Amino acid sequence: NGKADFAELARVHSDDGTASRGGELDWIYPGDTVPDFERAYEELKEGEISQPVRTPFGYHLIQVLERRSAEMNPERRRLQARQALRERKSDEAYQEWLRQLRDQSYVEVRLDER
């Protein structure tokens, strides 16, 4: 029929850890993946396959098999809260490091008169 099976192609050609499962990921929630990947799958309709998507992990073809709305269970909420807190603390530490770096730096600007 001229149509290839996505899962079979993933098994044969993918070098990702999901290749043996036909490239299938478990259910993913917003924030689970890098932004480029998330934007790509959010734009797809069920059954649709994306154009190649580049992320820091490589190139991906994405097919959305099914969407569902579900309340997050308490464990999932705790994990997301921990991740958000970790990211906020990491950002605060980075900003403090930058501030200290600026405070320790000396820049002299000389304008040559010609």
Q: Convert the pLDDT of each residue in 32-77 to its tens digit.
A: 889 999 999 999 999 899 999 999 988 999 999 888 876 767 887 7
Section 5-29 average pLDDT: 88
* Structure-token pair, residue 112: 């040559």
User: What values do phi and psi take at 60, rounded to 5?
Assistant: -135, 145
Beta strand spans in the chain (E): 53-55, 58-60
Q: State residue 70's pLDDT score.
A: 64
Q: How far is CA 50 from CA 11, 33, 90, 98, 103, in A?
A: 18, 16, 33, 39, 47
Quick: pLDDT tens for 71-113: 767 887 788 788 888 888 998 999 999 999 989 988 888 888 7
CATH of 1-69, one of 1.10.3470.10, 3.40.50.620, 3.90.550.10, 3.10.50.40: 3.10.50.40
For position 2, what pLDDT does the model report? 67
Structural domain boundaries in the chain: 1-69, 71-104
**Are the C-beta atoms of residues 84 and 90 closer than 8 Å to each other?**
no
pTM: 0.56
